[in-house]
Amino acid sequence: MVETVSIIFPFIYAALNAVSFALYGLDKYKARKELWRIPEKTLLTISLFGPIGAWLGMMQFRHKTQKTMFRYLVPGFVGVHLLLVLWLNL
């Protein structure tokens, strides 16, 4: 069971980060076209589970970088995930 989880988890984590990256890009596209936007709560929630993709999406698309909440929370989520990885590997 543990072997299965350790094999599947990186793929799930990569998928969450890819979805997070894509949502930031989609929201930026919708902002430019003045279409219905993705709620900030949704972006922050996906950032909690896929922070690396969210942070890369913020930088790549220059989206939500001026919002204080995003500017501090998303890098904070990245830090928490890095600390968890370090803790789990010790």
| Residue 37 neighbours by CB under 8 Å, 6+ apart | 27, 30, 31
8 Å CB contact between 28 and 63: yes
**CA–CA gap between residue 76 and residue 90 (Å, rounded):** 21
Domain-by-domain residue ranges, the chain? Answer: 1-89
Residue 36, pLDDT above cutoff 80: yes
- pLDDT at residue 7 in the model: 87
Kindly report the pTM of this predicted structure.
Answer: 0.90
Q: What is the pLDDT of residues 61-85, one digit of tens each?
A: 999 999 999 999 999 999 999 999 8
- pLDDT at residue 88 in the model: 84
Residue 32, pLDDT above cutoff 90: yes
Supply the mean pLDDT for the chain. Answer: 94
**Which stretches of the chain are DSSP H helices?**
2-32, 40-49, 51-61, 68-88
